[in-house]
Amino acid sequence: METEAIRQLENIEKYLGVVDCVGLPDLHPAKTPVGTTIVTKNVIYPSLIGNDIGCGIAL
């Protein structure tokens, strides 16, 4: 996994209401990291939703 994407994930973990952050196999850096699953409680961050959606992995 790319170091910059991991750093971005670590920063997102500090956001208010973020319970968990997971990097998926296609994790790579972008405006916000692509290939992540972010669990929040009582808050939604629109800027983290749909970034590069469908970039080669499906659940």
In this prediction, residue 51 carries a pLDDT of 61
pLDDT at residue 31 in the model: 85
Question: At residue 58, does pLDDT exceed 60?
Answer: no
Whole-model pTM: value is: 0.77
Question: For residue range 17-45, what is the model confidence (pLDDT) as tens digits?
Answer: 999 999 988 888 988 888 888 999 999 98
Question: Which two three-digit tokens encode residue 52?
Answer: 């590069």
User: Would the annotation count 52 as a binding residue?
Assistant: yes
34: closest CA among 50, 18, 17, 12? 50
- pLDDT of residue 47 exceeding 90, the answer is no
> Contact at 8 Å (CB) between 34 and 51?
yes
Q: What does pLDDT average to over the chain? A: 85
